[in-house]
Structure 1
């Protein structure tokens, strides 16, 4: 297997440029912080950015966990990977990862200074240091299940096609890892309830919420609620509308990943309609 190392200090913008460097060296396969990425899709691994401490993050990125390593190795074999880009902070890190994955020696090395200017590197370091932002070279929908509540923003990459004309060529995801020195944030269940209550109050056919429960787990949020509906509505259609609108607003306002939402029509009430 052809193995290319992409090397540079932490926070210098390697993940931001990884897809381009991989394509330039004839591969779609990238190892980045414990993940195996093919094109715009995560196909194996666990992100080091999910770990709760910096030490645990380093161990994850170096594939010290046997099960994690076997998962990535088996996937590489299943896809019959012929070339692989490994991102690392040093020559030694890249070579260690290659050795633990059993993919052979690192045959080529690309350094961040080869593909980014001094100014770009300084800007990337400043963003990491001051805002705690990390880039993962896949679209947001690929990692939302793993980073529920930790999204900062998606990063869209454009290529100039002509004067004033640009083509979208890819999307990367910006996250703040759980071990970030910038700290974590939490969203209370009552805040979720307030969002849900606001959304449902604007849906025709819903009278009120009679029971609500939200459980925020590491992989996302689980919601259960009972509704009092107004007699005469199409119940099945209305419950589906509630699910869609509530999900849309929670994702938009909180970046939480909704794993499950159970909505029950608990009872019906009559509504006095005003006569025109």
Structure 2
């Protein structure tokens, strides 16, 4: 059996990308958080996300429980897998899992930065920190919902190209995840107003709107200072970039969209 490792810090989107990654590499099985997943569906095991605290979740993920370990070992043998991808937070963790399950040496090591862009990782971390949401790379119907007191909902279907569906994800909030960061909408507004207020081309802001269901989307209506003796498009693009940099410094996140609309011009020579 060829054994592959995919590792990276918690909340960087490994589980979200695992199905697509395994399919493109021709890897038959996935071991993620205590589950054995084959063809996009749970074949055996119990997810660490069902645990009540982080200590038991880690022990579940590395197969410390003998019955759990034997169940997954038997399912791997029964499926006659020729390759498997082990997902963990570090090489040390994936090596531990390979040893526990007696899978042999890991032959290829991959890292989340190899399969996800910096922006995708940034977004995944932001959602984990502010929403406490975790992804399970199995269909909604296979998640035992009575284990969770909080959010359980369908994620998204995973396709390779536009034709081949390789699986689905489910979004959950494990009971052990209590540490989330709440950002009040006014904080986003204050940062935006501070940046726009410093701009030499802006007379005032007519309206600001935020959509923050997941990643902030910004819309602002501006009144510019006159007379206009500059390239308006170039200046507005520069202002957008300043907003991006401010959000990255403050929230470690780039807004999904920044739409700046000009309502009018105020000042000497303005019409």
Band of TM-score, shorter chain: 0.5 to 0.7
Residues 185-204 of structure 1: per-residue CA shift (max 9 Å, x gap): xxxxxxxxxxxxxxxxxxxx
Q: Distance in 2 between matches of 1:145 and 1:28?
A: 27
Q: Distance in 1 between matches of 2:107 and 2:67?
A: 26
Distance 1:146 1:94, change over 3 A: farther
Instruction: Find 2:173's aligned residue among 162, 165, 176.
Output: 176
Secondary structure, in 3 states, of the residue corresponding to 1:107?
strand
Q: Which residue of 1 aligns with 2:140?
A: 140
Q: Which residue of 1 aligns with 2:48?
A: 48
Residues 132-174 of structure 1: per-residue CA shift (max 9 Å, x gap): 100000110011356455443211236596xxxx658342100
The unaligned stretches of length 5 or more in structure 1 are: 184-276
The unaligned stretches of length 5 or more in structure 2 are: 181-271
Cα RMSD for the two superposed structures: 2.0
Conserved 8 A contact 1:42-1:138: yes
Distance 1:25 1:32, change over 3 A: same
Conserved 8 A contact 1:51-1:178: yes
Q: Distance in 1 between matches of 2:60 and 2:158?
A: 31
Conserved 8 A contact 2:7-2:110: yes
Conserved 8 A contact 1:157-1:168: no
Q: Which residue of 2 aligns with 1:75?
A: 75
Q: Which residue of 2 aligns with 1:11?
A: 11
1:124 CA drift (Å): 0.3
Number of equivalences = 179
Q: Which residue of 1 aligns with 2:107?
A: 107
Residues 178-225 of structure 1: per-residue CA shift (max 9 Å, x gap): 111159xxxxxxxxxxxxxxxxxxxxxxxxxxxxxxxxxxxxxxxxxx
Q: Distance in 1 between matches of 2:117 and 2:65?
A: 36
Secondary structure, in 3 states, of the residue corresponding to 1:4?
strand
Q: Distance in 1 between matches of 2:25 and 2:164?
A: 21
1:41 CA drift (Å): 1.5
